Amino acid sequence: MEEKKKSFVLYTTYEEQFKLLSPGEQGSLIMAIFQYVQTDRVPPLDGMAMMAFSFIKANLDRDTEKYQGIVKKRAEAGRKGGIESAKQKQANQANATFAKQNQANQADNDNVNDNDINNNDNKSSKKDIEDFFKQIWQLYPIKKGKASISDTQKKKLYSIGLEEMTRAISRYVKEQEAEKTERKYWKHGSTFLNCGYIDYLDENCEDKPKESTGLRRIEIR
C-alpha cells in the first residue's frame, strides 16, 4: 500500500463468514483483518478462518485501491490549485499596484494637465485625445479599469501615437498567446495602458519598424 489508512470498511455481508467460525476463530479473523490493513501482510490462519479472510481480503484490496486513487487525485488537484492560486495572486497584486500608483499620480497631475489640454491652442484638444484613447481601449483585449486612467496618462499615450501603441498592444498579445497564458492572468487594460505598455514600445523591441530614408531608387536602363 502506498499510504497507510487509518480506517477501513467492515461490511455487514461479512456476518455470514463470521457465523461459520468459532468464537476463537472469529477473534483471530478480526485481528488478522487489522494486521493486514496496517501492514499489508497476510497473517497465518487455519482452515475456515483463512477461507473467510480470503473473501474479506478481496474487498479490502478493492477499497484500498479506490482510496489510493482518491488520494492521488486530491494531491494533483491541490498541486494545480496551488499553481493557479499563485498565478492569480501575482496578477491581482500587479493590477492593484498599478491602480494605486495611478490613483496617486492622478491626484497630483490632473488639474495641471487639464488646463494644458483646454487652454493651449497649439496642442491637441481634449476631444482628440479622448477619441484616440477610445481607439486604443477598443484594441486592448482585457477591458478592465478604464476609469483609473487619468487625462494625464491619456495625453502621454496620445503623444506616442496610434500606430506605435497598436504595435505595443499587438506585441503583448502575441507574447501571452505564445506563452499560452490564460486570459484571466493577462494585465488589465488599466495596468497595461498606465505603464505595462512601456516594455512593448518600438524602442524596447527588436521588431520595431525600419525608418524610411525618404529616398527612392531610380533604375536606369
Shared domain for 64 and 95, answered yes or no, is no
Shared domain for 94 and 200, answered yes or no, is yes
Burial of 47 (0-12, 13-18, 19+ CB in 10 A): exposed
In a domain, 81, yes or no: no
In a domain, 57, yes or no: yes
Number of domains in the chain: 2
Shared domain for 109 and 197, answered yes or no, is yes
3-class SS shares of the chain: helix, strand, coil, % to 5: 70, 0, 30
The range of the structural domain enclosing residue 161 comes to: 90-204
Shared domain for 194 and 108, answered yes or no, is yes
Say yes or no to pLDDT of 107 above 60. Answer: no
Shared domain for 57 and 110, answered yes or no, is no
In a domain, 77, yes or no: no
pLDDT digits (tens, 9 = 90+) for 169-202: 999 999 999 999 998 899 999 999 999 899 999 9
Out of 67-71, 80-84, 163-167, least confident range: 80-84
pLDDT digits (tens, 9 = 90+) for 14-41: 888 898 889 999 999 999 999 988 888 8
pLDDT digits (tens, 9 = 90+) for 195-215: 989 999 999 988 766 655 444
Q: Which residue has the higher pLDDT, 53 or 93?
A: 53
In a domain, 78, yes or no: no
Shared domain for 50 and 109, answered yes or no, is no
